[in-house]
Amino acid sequence: MEILDRIKSILSILWKVLSTTRVVVANIFFLLVVIILFGVFFTDTEETLRQNSVLVVNPAGALVEQRNAPKPAEALLRKMGRETAKADETKTQDIIDAIRKAATDSNILAMVIDPRDLQGCDTTKLLDIGKAILDFKETGKPVLAHSMVYTQGQYLLASYADTISVNPLGGVMITGFGMYQTYFKGLLDKTRINFHVFRVGDYKTAVEPFVRESMSEEAKEAGREWLGGLWQAYLDEASKNRGVSPSDITSYVENIDTRLAAVGGDAARLAVTAKLVDEIKTSTQFDQLLAGKTGKKVEDLNRVDFQDYLAMSPSGQTASKEVIGIIRARGAILPGKQPENMTGSESIAELFQMARQDPTVLAVVLRLDSPGGSAAASEEIHHEIARTQEAGKPVVVSMGSVAASGAYWIAAGANRIVAAPTTLTGSIGIFAAFPTFEDTAMNLGITTDGIGTTPLADLGNPLRPLSAQSERAIGHLLRFGYDLFIDRVASGRRLPAADVENSAQGRVFLGQEALSRKLVDQLGDLDDALKTAASLAGLTVVNSKELRRAPSSHEKLLQTFFSTAQALFTQQSPAISKMLNMVETQARIFESFADPNHIYARSLECEGSLF
């Protein structure tokens, strides 16, 4: 009994220690959240830009149309001067706005492009940023770029600089564009999952990852044309910026092994001899170069990154009673309310309703950057465009990097469509896809049996096979959806249905080709779309404001709570980060197949491209 009493006493003490520790940790974490909330909402954030400043354009992660709401913990830590994890995405418009403000700011002496944390090569968005950099250079202020190594997206951004320097152990890594999808047929066969696929359109290759182990010739044929067009646009822009020919860059890429051998593996020296960069500099030497270009001492220069610069600079937007409302729709199209990295039908509908009810908004520009998604959700947003037009407010669609399939379904209802030459659009076609697991279950010794009042009573049960009658019914539903898609395009674009059909069947086009097929009205960027909207609304001056749903206080609290730990994490290695991004992308694709009818107007081939 004495031994049992001692054990009981020890366990009691341990339990008290654990309970006390749990309470202390919970209180500390709660106190941290309170401090962050206090810092974000009550601390004075007014900062003044110092003289002799240099704007640093240092995007991190992928370039996007609309970033998820900023995290309060990250914002406070940045304000405190603490290092946080690198962002996984950067809003393109933020970079453009900062560059435009800096161009006329007397405190900004120069611009430094630091692209080391930029991921991917979104040609359309980089061209938009490049246009702003070229305007900045017209003021006579120098633009310099420096990095350890340049990937092809980083290099295109850097190519707009007056002077490009690279670290002695760095180089320029341009690889070309590719379209490589992940195929799951082998996994589905091994796990005996029956993936039922229905599609309309000879070129609607989005379903191939579930029914094939490799890319079909139709997919390769369709991909070669637009992939080659994007690559040529990259070559043309980079070569023009650097004063070399596109063939010079092509030769550099295709003969990289022999060229490296000729310089003893010195990639930095090779980049200089190929005229891709101007100088080889360490970070210290680059600082001295920057000081020389600005006529100041190194210690007198104040570097400010574009996000901090935007935070301390006034918006510069004059109050106006007549504006163009900008609605941004990014990511896969899904039913209901969705976060800002997805296009939710209810979320977008709320913004259109906001535009209709706001007397200062005379027209709307819908900025689309989406590969499509749910057919039903696409039709709902299409309907919101019609309602806005009926309210007397024209709608202009501005296409970003991709506005294909369901996104084009939406765009077809607009008064005007403006696409970039490098926009991926079209993909007029739909498909249905969903799994059943009856063979998987049987292989595990699990079976189902029962009775129903009709032959369709077991429809939707994932452990029951799909009957021939159900397959025929789904086929009819799909044909109706495809015909509705064709009708929406024909009606919106004022084209004969036969002409639309010639551009349909799921084919993807670049903006230039889409213009020749009358699928879009003009080539241009967001600025051009705003001018078009202003013209339709009878405005002589273009003033705009972004329409965005404000998060509730409850959402702000949750956002703060869950962002605290993440903001403190350090950055992963590039290799691990890239692998995690690939896994996350595939997971998001599966997660976004959320149409209640399992019918989709979506271009997965656009999402599987590697730039």
Q: Which residues are catalytic?
A: 204, 405
- β-pairing, 430-436 with 599-602? antiparallel
The number of beta carbons lying within 10 Å of the beta carbon of residue 335 is: 18
Question: What is the C-alpha to C-alpha distance for residues 125 and 131, in angstroms, rounded to an integer?
Answer: 10
Question: What is the C-alpha to C-alpha distance for residues 173 and 324, in angstroms, rounded to an integer?
Answer: 41
Q: Which residues contact 589 (CB under 8 A, 6 or more apart)?
A: 332, 604, 607
Q: Judge residue 455's burial from the number of C-beta atoms within 10 Å of its C-beta, 0-12 exposed, 13-18 middle, 19 or more buried.
A: exposed
Chain-centroid distance, C-alpha 380? 22
Question: What is the C-alpha to C-alpha distance for residues 324 and 277, in angstroms, rounded to an integer?
Answer: 41
- β-pairing, 395-404 with 361-370? parallel
Determine contact, residues 346/337, Cβ cutoff 8 Å. Answer: yes
Give CA torsion, residues 500, 501, 507, 509, to 10 deg: -20
Q: Which amino acid would we find at residue 290?
A: L
Helix/strand/coil (H, E, C) string of 300-355?
HCEEEEHHHHHHHCCCCCCCCCCEEEEEEEECCEECCCCCCCCEEHHHHHHHHHHH
Chain-centroid distance, C-alpha 234? 19
Residue with tokens 């109050």: 319
For residue 435, list its beta bridge partners. Answer: 195
Residue with tokens 């092994």: 257
Cα-based angle 513, 516, 520 (whole degrees, multiple of 5): 85
3-state secondary structure at position 43: coil
590-597's contacts with Cβ under 8 Å and 24+ in sequence apart are 592/331, 592/332, 592/334, 592/342, 592/373, 593/433, 594/334, 594/335, 594/374, 595/334, 595/335, 595/373, 595/374, 595/375, 595/376, 595/377, 596/335, 596/376, 597/375, 597/376, 597/432, 597/477
Question: What is the C-alpha to C-alpha distance for residues 608 and 585, in angstroms, rounded to an integer?
Answer: 9
For residue 302, list its beta bridge partners. Answer: 53
3-state secondary structure at position 247: helix
Question: What is the C-alpha to C-alpha distance for residues 232 and 252, in angstroms, rounded to an integer?
Answer: 15
Question: What is the C-alpha to C-alpha distance for residues 373 and 343, in angstroms, rounded to an integer?
Answer: 9
Give CA torsion, residues 527, 529, 534, 537, to 10 deg: -170
The number of beta carbons lying within 10 Å of the beta carbon of residue 220 is: 13
